[in-house]
Amino acid sequence: MAADLKERLGDLVAHLETIVPYAAALHKKRSGTRISVNRVQESVEPEDPAQGLVVTLWNGQAFYEYAANAWEWDSLKTTLTDDARAAAAAVDKSKPVEQIEPGAEIRQDFSSGFERDPAALPLAERLEIARERMNQAVAADPLVANAVSILAHTVSEDVFVNRAKSMSQKILRSDSILVVFVSKDGLTVDIHNGVSKNAGLEAMDLSKGTLRGMVDDAKRLLTAPRLDPGVYDVVTDPEWSGIIAHECFGHGMETDLYVRQRALSQKYLSKPVAAPIVNMFDDPSLIGEAGGFFFDDEGQPAAPTHIIKDGVLQRGLTDLPSAHKLRFERSANGRRESFARKAYARMTNTFFESGQSTKDQIISSVENGLYLRHATNGMEDPQAWGIQVEGLWAERIRDGKLTGEVFSPVIMTGFVPDLLMSISMVGNDRWISGLGMCGKGHKEWVKNTTGGPHLRMKARLA
């Protein structure tokens, strides 16, 4: 099917480029299943099915798009021919006409690797796996009131064609998530953990040790007091470090915001924004991670973007329109929620790179501070470059040792350069989580990951 589709789209693009300077076509298809089990309810739902075609036209001055989920090829060609002629007629002859480079020639089919295909396992067996994990969690402790076990997989199939490229990619992502609810004396705390990878069932194990740790931590949080607000010497675990990476250099580095003058980070390009030991990347070429792919929705091949190099802000993340308008080098960050949605500059796998220190060295270096774990969410103000990260766990460190004194919940706030300039140690234990999704504002959801190593910094907490 992909070969026939690529041939038809190639013919269509070639025809449209007899009318406008540039045309490209993208066909997207998504399928999968999500299983969710708790003590009182079980559900099996198909992944929200999405399949359709989007054609992009460039008339030399502006982009135009046409999307459809059903078509007949001859009528599609007629419709797009009319659209292309209208786009060509809209050119302002008093202004220059510019070209869009199609990129290097690539004619290849890509596929992510896996060992155990979830779809090859009967649904009843996958449902039983989810049940067993839920039952293990409920049986782990008398205070466990409920647990939600989720087992899901998604298959994404894309075909992209322009005059230089004819590519397809098929990526399998698998998710295994467990949420544990612990309750006592009218108080309830929930903690989640899990795995989301571009892989099969082989990557979905959740150990008994991990489950026991989740339950013990949740029980501790039932009686944890609030933290006195102030500025603290803190150590962040890799999960918390990852959400900091996402919020510090997330939407504020997506250069469609630069076009609209809505990101303060634009004024810091080529300037120090972090301590010299800090490096940060966005890298969709990590194909095994949940935010990985072989090419983006505008046909740009996946490659790492070095966002911060030795503390200096290098560049933002681009989609095709923003890269063209700003005269920036393209990065593989043009992503769509579906064929029916616009492509925006979006994050992929965004993380702090590893450093030289071990976790024990970092914690032992702190005389009086807090160890932050169980991050839950965050938000960013790109215009003022402020962030907020929330989590469940802040454990006191005294004389280089964890004391067991825990505070919850905890909120970190700050101005991004101030926060990152305060980083004094970077761990050697980078870890990437793929459990999150990311929206552009309140919509346009795409899969991405966040990660990093343990970090030591100064932060305002409440």
Segment 53-103, tens digit of pLDDT: 999 999 999 999 999 999 999 999 999 999 999 999 999 999 999 999 999
**Is pLDDT of 131 > 90?**
yes
Mean pLDDT over each residue of the chain, to the nearest integer: 96
Domains and their CATH numbers in the chain: 2-109 (no CATH), 112-159+166-221 (3.30.2290.10), 230-461 (no CATH)
- pLDDT tens digits, residue range 386-395? 999 999 999 9
- Dihedral sign from CA coordinates of 257, 197, 445, 9: positive
Measure the CA angle with vertex 340, ends 336 and 346; round to 5°: 15
pLDDT category at 1 given cuts 50, 70, 90 is low
Distance CA 202, CA 367 (A): 42
Mean pLDDT of 318-337: 97
Q: Would you state the pLDDT for residue 441? A: 73
Give the DSSP H/E element, type plus range, for residue 85. Answer: helix 73-89
pLDDT category at 442 given cuts 50, 70, 90 is confident
- On the question of a cis peptide bond just before residue 409, with omega within 30 degrees of 0, the verdict is yes
Percent of the chain surpassing pLDDT 90 = 95
Phi-psi region of 183 (alpha: psi -120 to 50; beta: other; left: phi over 0): beta
Please answer whether residues 36 and 47 qualify as being in contact, where contact means their C-beta atoms are separated by less than 8 angstroms: no
The model carries a pTM of 0.96
- pLDDT tens digits, residue range 202-261? 998 888 899 999 999 999 999 999 999 999 999 999 999 999 999 988 888 999 999 999
Q: Which residue has the higher pLDDT, 118 or 441?
A: 118
Residue 427 per-residue DSSP state:
B
